[in-house]
Amino acid sequence: MSAREPWADVALRGIRVAGREDRFEVAGLLARMDRDGLYERHFAHGEAPNHALLRRLDDVDGINRVALLAVGADDTAIGHAEYFATDGVAEFALLVLPSARDRGVGRALLAALVERATSVGQREMSGVIQATNTRAVQLSRKLGFSLRPGEDRRTVIVSRPLCTAPTSAGG
């Protein structure tokens, strides 16, 4: 007899690139998110930020606009991450379902964003996190981001340089 583990449905199956074809999947993720998690992600309440996130899926280009989905054991999205880059600086944001938190999902998403940004030549990654979002602040630290206070002290700005592949200069 095998008992089903209570966390089985939120086990991370993998990370994949997201795009416009994932609007329905991301909308389902947003519908399953808790109010606090949405506020931590958007810094606002209401549906407008969710609609904006869905619209941004149309602009994914794989270089300056990247979106990723963490997929759970049941093949549904349990997390979303994205970055938007300008002049080599990629600003990231993460969203993880409450039931999938503290299971490595956020870490896997952020590590995949860093890897992707590095591979396409971005120089730096940064993010703005609410100072009360201790999970995100700790995760950023663990992945090598430095922290500084935001302008209003309610936020923390995290950043880290990205290692770019060395160019061959004959040698």
pLDDT in tens, 89-104: 999 999 999 888 888 8
Residue 167 lies in a domain: no
pLDDT, one tens digit per residue, over 65-86 is: 999 999 998 889 999 999 999 9
Instruction: Compute CA 123 distance to the chain's CA centroid, rounded to the nearest angstrom.
Output: 18
- Cβ count near 140 (within 10 Å): 26
pLDDT, one tens digit per residue, over 113-128 is: 999 999 999 999 999 9
Residue 125 lies in a domain: yes
CATH number of the CATH domain containing 115: 3.40.630.30
Residue 110 lies in a domain: yes
Q: What are phi and psi of 96, to 5 degrees?
A: -130, 135
pLDDT, one tens digit per residue, over 4-59 is: 344 444 678 999 999 999 999 999 998 988 888 776 776 766 777 778 888 899 99
Residue 166 lies in a domain: no
Domain limits for position 110? 9-161
Residue 170 lies in a domain: no
Let me know: does 40 contact 12? Beta carbons within 8 Å.
no
> How many domains does one find in the chain?
1
The reported pTM is 0.85
pLDDT higher for 129 or 40? 129
Residue 171 lies in a domain: no
pLDDT in the model for residue 44: 67
pLDDT in the model for residue 10: 62
Residue 168 lies in a domain: no
Residue 100 lies in a domain: yes
Let me know: does 127 contact 93? Beta carbons within 8 Å.
yes
Q: What is the CA radius of gyration of the chain?
A: 17
